[in-house]
Amino acid sequence: MSENKDRLNFRMKPETAEKLAHWYKADHCRSKNEFVEKAVNFYADALAAENSATLPLAIQAAIDGRLKLLEDRMAAILYKQAVEIDMALSILLQSVNVDESVLRQERAKSIATIKRTHGRLRMEQKLREQENEEWQG
C-alpha cells in the first residue's frame, strides 16, 4: 500500500546540505526525506507551542516530575523538623510546670508575632521583644 505524499522541491545552501547529510544518519533516519519531514514537524510544533497558552506535554511532564521530587523532599524535611520540635517540647514540658492559660497566651502572642513578621522571625528579634517586656513590666 503506497501513501500519497506531496512532492516538494527546494534549494538549500551548501552548509544546510552538509548538515542534512550528517544529521539524518545521526538521527537514525532511513532517508534524508524522513529527516526533513521530522525537522519540519518539530519546527511546526515549536511554533504552535509558542502560540499556545498551554505547555507542550513533554515540558509539562518534566515540570511535574521535578515538582514531585521537590514536594517529596520538602515533606521529608518537614517531617524531620516536626519530630525534633516534638522532642524538644516534650523535654521542655517535662522540666517546666506551665499552666494551660499561659500556653494560650503565648500561642496568641506567637501568632501575632508571626503575622507581623510574615514568618521571618529571628532569634535576635525575639530576644529584644523579651527584653522590652521585662523592661516595661
Which pLDDT does position 137 carry in this prediction?
58
- List of residues 6+ apart from 56 with CB closer than 8 A: 45, 49
Q: Report pTM.
A: 0.46
Residue 5, CA distances (Å) to 1, 8, 27, 30, 33 in order: 13, 9, 22, 17, 11
pLDDT over threshold 70, residue 1? no
Q: At what angle do helices 32-50 and 14-26 cross, to 10 degrees?
A: 100
Phi, psi at residue 103, to the nearest 5°? -60, -45
Average confidence (pLDDT) over 42-59: 79
Q: Give the three cell numbers for residue 132.
A: 522590652
The span from the CA of 45 to the CA of 19, in Å, is: 21
Q: Give the three cell numbers for residue 127.
A: 530576644
The span from the CA of 30 to the CA of 73, in Å, is: 44
Q: Give the three cell numbers for residue 44.
A: 511546526
- The highest-confidence range among 16-20, 114-118, 122-126, by mean pLDDT, is 16-20
Going by pLDDT thresholds of 50, 70 and 90, the confidence category of residue 84 is very high
Length of the chain: 137
